[in-house]
Structure 1
Amino acid sequence: MKQLALFVVTTFALGTTAFNTPQIPLNWTTQFACAVDVPSRVLANVVTNQYTDNTPATCIQRCDAATFAFAGVEFSDECHCGTGLVGTPASAPVSDCNMACTGDPTLSCGGSLRIQIYKSPALPPGAWTLQGCFLDTATSPAFGSPVVHQTFNTNLDLVNQCSNYCAHIGYPFSGVENASDCQCSFGLDPSAQIRSLSECSSTCPLPAGAGNEFCGGFERLEVYKFSAN
């Protein structure tokens, strides 16, 4: 009984004082510090789960891994993942998000029909167009800094794998090199040197026996640029 009483007192005390500012990982941003949720939910195509380690950060990480663009914490242990917003949620006073997270009682995780909403940096729907084949060496990089490098378990359909990954982390330029390396950037290096497309001659397999595609080459980056629909 003494342990239960201590828990109740601690929860009440946190509810009447300011919570700590949560860490927001993966370049996500806060969309609503506290918003009104409704029984039909304000996140589109929402998937809701309850976790004993729920925090804004763990919820964001789970939603991001499942390729959702929105995350929300509510009622202490609820993590909501969605593809967008249903209209514009009504803002609520931050004091309404007064329930401690199950994963960290120094942080708030919404309240009763009160949700803290976070958004991924993912690009909106759009298309990728080939920009050309570029020299890519340590002294003559194709992409300007910062550059994110990513490898996958397989190079099957590498061009699409890479473009989807770059879109998910919010980078509008993608590139594949030597049939293995995926790169994401915000643009070409000012001194980028274009080469003949024939120099991007490494190949990667396509799904379902559809043949192969070109995937850059040795020190040659096959570059694609995103444009929104």
Structure 2
Amino acid sequence: MKQLALFVATSFALGASAFNIPVIPLNWTTQYACAVDVPSRVLANVVTTQYTDNTPGSCVQRCDAAGYTWAGVEYSNECHCGTGLVGTPASAPVSDCNMACTGDPNLSCGGSWRIQIYKSPDLGPGSWTLRGCYLDTAASPAFGSPLVHHTFDTNLDLITQCVDYCGHLGYPWSGVENATDCQCSFGLTPGAQLRPQSECNSLCPLPPGEGNEYCGGFQRLEVYQFQNHT
């Protein structure tokens, strides 16, 4: 019996190690490669859904789209979406997460009361402060790299759209330019040139009845910085 038990344990370990490393989208990160779940659940305010195409990546995308900042896969077909952790989960050996995903047999999706946990880069509660109007050209960029550019379907309330977008991606610096371009970064370039605020004179609309707002200018980036409230 000891030999049989050893063989089973070894098989599980080999099976777990044979799984491919999943690609986690949207800048989410792995918080627990394998953790112990409990009947009351380790994710706060959790919503659990079973999917026939479940993978760590698809679960993260579904949770992100629903506005959750934590995700986990368990028991092959379960996708867990939550708002945080309930305490500190107990780590489990990676070999315990030995069940193949229903959406890809080459990936693991937890096990029986074993969950793989992922976290959004979302900055969480906080506020954005205007830091000024900066020159932004190819020769003198305002933001350093890595830099994300994004254009929305509409520039209605562009500043709010942009800071929310950057904050969800985990970037603490945000800027709008020429009433169209949203930029996200981790900070200003060394020597970034501050310009008079009057040069950020491109207008973009606010909701009906609220008028307009200034959203940068031509080669002028109106810059905001995130401040955490915690």
TM beyond 0.5 = yes
Two-structure CA RMSD over aligned residues (Å): 1.6
State the match for 2:79 in structure 1: 79
State the match for 1:151 in structure 2: 151
Greater Cα shift, 75-84 or 43-52 = 43-52
SS of 2:104's partner is coil
Is 1:190 matched with 2:207? no
Compute the displacement of 1:172 (Å): 0.7
> In structure 1, what is the Cα distance between the partners aligned to 2:61 and 2:190?
34
**CA deviation map 1:87-109 (0-9, x unaligned):** 11122222221111001112110
One-letter amino acid of the structure 1 residue matched with residue 106 of structure 2: T
SS of 1:159's partner is helix
- The sequence identity of aligned pairs, in percent, is 76
One-letter amino acid of the structure 1 residue matched with residue 79 of structure 2: C
> In structure 2, what is the Cα distance between the partners aligned to 1:195 and 1:66?
39
Does the 8 A contact of 2:42 with 2:85 survive in 1? yes
Compute the displacement of 1:60 (Å): 1.3
SS of 1:209's partner is coil
Compute the displacement of 1:25 (Å): 2.2
Greater Cα shift, 170-179 or 190-199 = 190-199
One-letter amino acid of the structure 1 residue matched with residue 113 of structure 2: L
Compute the displacement of 1:64 (Å): 2.2
Is 1:57 matched with 2:43? no
One-letter amino acid of the structure 2 residue matched with residue 24 of structure 1: I
SS of 1:32's partner is strand
> In structure 1, what is the Cα distance between the partners aligned to 2:75 and 2:14?
16
SS of 1:184's partner is strand
Structure 2: stretches of 5+ with no match in the other structure: 1-10
**CA deviation map 1:19-59 (0-9, x unaligned):** 22222222221111111112222112222222111111111
Does the 8 A contact of 1:157 with 1:206 survive in 2? yes
One-letter amino acid of the structure 2 residue matched with residue 45 of structure 1: N
State the match for 2:103 in structure 1: 103
State the match for 2:34 in structure 1: 34
State the match for 1:134 in structure 2: 134
State the match for 1:217 in structure 2: 217
State the match for 1:25 in structure 2: 25
One-letter amino acid of the structure 2 residue matched with residue 78 of structure 1: E
SS of 2:108's partner is coil
The size of the alignment, in residue pairs, is: 217
Compute the displacement of 1:15 (Å): 7.7
State the match for 1:4 in structure 2: none
Compute the displacement of 1:129 (Å): 0.2
Greater Cα shift, 116-125 or 37-46 = 37-46
Greater Cα shift, 207-216 or 169-178 = 207-216
State the match for 2:121 in structure 1: 121
TM-score for both structures, normalised by structure 2:
0.89
> In structure 1, what is the Cα distance between the partners aligned to 2:205 and 2:147?
25
> In structure 1, what is the Cα distance between the partners aligned to 2:118 and 2:27?
10
Does the 8 A contact of 1:150 with 1:182 survive in 2? yes
One-letter amino acid of the structure 2 residue matched with residue 41 of structure 1: R
State the match for 2:7 in structure 1: none
Is 1:164 matched with 2:164? yes
What is the 5 A alignment of 1:194-205?
Answer: 194-205=194-205
Greater Cα shift, 88-97 or 152-161 = 88-97
> In structure 2, what is the Cα distance between the partners aligned to 1:150 and 1:93?
40
Does the 8 A contact of 1:70 with 1:118 survive in 2? yes
TM-score for both structures, normalised by structure 1:
0.89
One-letter amino acid of the structure 1 residue matched with residue 47 of structure 2: V
